[in-house]
């Protein structure tokens, strides 16, 4: 019979206890889920909100089309519409609407379309507009509309909802930045991603609704120069070729004798600008000339296309081997340092508390017979 005795220290007991606790808690961590589609205020967050009056969550395209401006919203790419109404403690109601669209450009378009005032940087949200008893804001790819009777309740609720969504602080669409700052009024800017929205909320060009191809951004603003005024329409095309084709075939409008306004056009880069109003040719040329497009060239170094070798071994493969060896060396050094630290801690612990060699053993009996 051979007895093998292994010391069972206090540190080992504590480590085993921690391991058992982790094994018990791991399944609980795996069951945790993040709720990301409910952005409404928490219960009792606002004392003015008495009770929930109505709640709606719509994803079906047919039901989305039945909403107010449903066809326009679907054309913009509306994916989900949620609405919750509250009764207020005093009197009146408050409603919260959250519209989810594909990207931040679509949300910004809705903000400019449904607002009577120019967007301002948030909070609440990335951008917002304030009206009489209502706050319209956007956060990422979501458009939020809060309507209340009076007071600052709508703003506080909008701040709570957009904080739950999460603000990304994006810049306005790049097309809007090309309006001449000296001539165009930023408070009149409207941004469109769909032809239906342009027909319904945009300004006609040469007396008719402007027809644009798909995937074209459109922005409009009121402009004035040398005592003359009118409307500028900017069209942003995906490529310069498409902009040139549109400019040569569909962007030249004749003079409208009945309206007494002239139409001037200019194409620069992937943009086409249309200026309509009572502008003189000189002032129109100056206003359109302020629209510029700068080209940028970026060199892309494709490492995958390189076939260099070192000592007959491809550089890419050699780099992978070297990084692996360095990683293993760092792991070894870390293990040695951890072992030295544990040993030093054990020695310090025994000397600090005057503990002699432990007499507690796990006895393993092996029968040699």
Average pLDDT over residues 154-168: 85
Domain(s) labelled CATH 3.40.1000.70 in the chain stretch across 49-165
pLDDT of residue 339: 87
pLDDT of residue 40: 85
pLDDT of residue 1: 45
* Confidence class for position 250, pLDDT limits 50, 70, 90: low
pLDDT of 255 higher than 50: no
pLDDT of 302 higher than 60: no
Distance CA 269, CA 250 (A): 17
* Confidence class for position 172, pLDDT limits 50, 70, 90: confident
Tens digits of residue pLDDT in 16-62:
555 554 554 544 444 433 345 678 888 888 888 888 888 889 888 88
Tens digits of residue pLDDT in 113-141:
888 888 888 788 889 888 777 889 998 88
Tens digits of residue pLDDT in 317-341:
777 888 888 889 998 998 899 889 8
DSSP codes, 297-331: ------GGG---EETTEEHHHHHHHHHHHHHHHHH
pLDDT of 2 higher than 50: no
pLDDT of residue 364: 63
Q: Residue 82's closest CA among 101, 102, 110?
A: 101
pLDDT of 308 higher than 60: yes
Confirm if 217 and 270 have CB atoms less than 8 A apart.
Answer: no
Domain 49-165: CATH architecture, name and number where available: 3-Layer(aba) Sandwich (3.40)
Distance CA 140, CA 154 (A): 20
Average pLDDT over residues 96-115: 89
For 138, half-sphere exposure in the C-beta direction (CA atoms, 13 angstrom radius) is 29
Q: What percent of the chain has pLDDT above 90?
A: 4
pLDDT of residue 98: 92
Contacting residues for 289 by C-beta, under 8 A, at least 6 apart: 266
Q: What percent of the chain has pLDDT above 70?
A: 75
Strand partners, 120: 128
Strand pairing category for 93-100 and 2-7: unpaired
Average pLDDT over residues 60-80: 87
* Confidence class for position 8, pLDDT limits 50, 70, 90: very low
pLDDT of residue 367: 65
Average pLDDT over residues 272-287: 84
Confirm if 289 and 295 have CB atoms less than 8 A apart.
Answer: no
More confident residue, 262 or 253: 262
From residue 101, how far is each of 81, 139, 141, 161 by CA, in Å? Answer: 9, 11, 6, 17
SS3 250: coil
Most confident of 10-14, 183-187, 218-222, 364-368: 218-222
From residue 187, how far is each of 116, 129, 307 by CA, in Å? Answer: 9, 11, 56
Contacting residues for 280 by C-beta, under 8 A, at least 6 apart: 226, 228
């Amino acid at each position: 019979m051979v007895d093998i005795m292994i010391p069972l220290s206090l540190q080992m007991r504590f480590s085993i206890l921690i391991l058992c606790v982790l094994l018990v808690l791991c399944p609980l961590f795996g069951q945790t889920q993040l709720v990301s589609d409910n952005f409404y205020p928490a219960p009792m967050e606002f004392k003015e909100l008495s009770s929930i009056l109505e709640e709606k969550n719509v994803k079906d395209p047919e039901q989305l089309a039945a909403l107010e401006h449903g066809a326009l919203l679907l054309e913009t790419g509306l994916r989900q519409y949620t609405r919750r109404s509250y009764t207020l403690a005093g009197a009146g109601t408050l409603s919260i609407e959250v519209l989810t669209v594909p990207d931040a450009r679509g949300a910004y378009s809705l903000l400019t379309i449904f607002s009577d005032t120019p967007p301002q940087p948030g909070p609440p949200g990335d951008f917002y507009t304030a009206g009489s008893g209502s706050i319209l804001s956007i956060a990422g790819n979501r458009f939020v509309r809060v309507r209340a009777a009076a007071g600052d309740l709508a703003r506080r609720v909008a701040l709570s909802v957009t904080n739950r969504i999460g603000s990304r602080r994006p810049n306005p669409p790049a097309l809007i930045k090309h309006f001449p700052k000296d001539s165009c009024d930023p408070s009149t800017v409207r941004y469109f991603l769909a032809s239906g929205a342009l027909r319904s909320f945009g300004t006609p060009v040469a007396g008719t609704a402007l027809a644009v191809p798909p995937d074209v951004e459109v922005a409009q603003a009121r402009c004035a120069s040398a005592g003359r005024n009118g409307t500028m329409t900017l069209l942003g095309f995906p490529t310069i070729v498409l902009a040139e084709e549109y400019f040569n075939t569909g962007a030249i409008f004749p003079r409208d004798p009945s309206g007494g306004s002239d139409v001037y056009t200019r194409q620069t880069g992937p943009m086409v600008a249309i200026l309509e109003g009572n502008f003189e040719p000189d002032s129109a040329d100056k206003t359109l000339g302020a629209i510029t497009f700068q080209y940028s060239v970026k060199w892309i170094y494709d490492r995958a296309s390189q076939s260099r070798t070192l000592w007959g071994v491809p550089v890419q493969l050699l780099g992978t081997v070297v990084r692996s060896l360095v990683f293993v060396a760092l792991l070894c050094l870390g293990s040695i340092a951890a072992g030295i630290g544990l040993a030093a801690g054990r020695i310090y612990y025994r000397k600090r508390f005057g503990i002699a060699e432990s007499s507690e053993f796990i006895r393993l009996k092996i029968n040699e017979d």
